[in-house]
Amino acid sequence: MSAVTARFFNVYGDRQPTSGPYATVVGIFEEQTKHAKPLTITGNGEQRRDFTHVSDIINGFMALGEREWSAQVFNLGYGRNYSINELANMFSKEKKYIPARPGEAWVTLANIFEMSEATGWSPKITLEDYVRDWLQTNVSVNTLHRKAV
């Protein structure tokens, strides 16, 4: 029997939750940006996350499905991490800091070397490109002007 495990790192993309307990920080920042609200950052915002676009996860699954496995474990991430402050700056300069959550990981970073070597897979969508494209598509000039005032 073929078996493989894929570990995801902070998946974001279209149709992600933007509120509630399962919302991603990218989704929360999108929702706050749409409504011209300050971006809420837990703790000091220097915690670092490896963000992976959902289409890169899907392509990783497809690559894993092309052969047989014997219980290998692979990381599906981008292989680079960003502080939450860096992510917030991609959206807006207006931030609001709230208390840190107990037990939150300080750093996540996927080592994707084995996945790339075994399958030829590599992530394609950068966080910067995603946020830039999202802002161009979803935020009106009026919303951006309200933020600047």
Domains of the chain: 3-148 (3.40.50.720)
Element (H, E) at 99: none
Q: What are the pLDDT digits (tens) for 24-53?
A: 999 999 999 999 999 999 999 999 999 999
Residues in the chain: 149
Q: Which residue ranges in the chain fall short of pLDDT 70?
A: 140-149
**CB 123, CB 78: distance < 8 Å:** yes
**CB 143, CB 90: distance < 8 Å:** no
Separation between Cα atoms, residue 3 and residue 69, nearest integer Å: 5
**CB 16, CB 138: distance < 8 Å:** no
- How many helices (H) and strands (E) the chain has is answered by 6, 8
In this prediction the pTM is 0.89
**CB 106, CB 67: distance < 8 Å:** no
Contacts of 76 (CB under 8 A, 6+ apart): 6, 7, 8, 9, 52, 56, 57, 60, 61, 110, 112, 115
**Residue 143, pLDDT score:** 53
**Residue 145, pLDDT score:** 46
Strand partners, 50: 81
Separation between Cα atoms, residue 18 and residue 33, nearest integer Å: 11
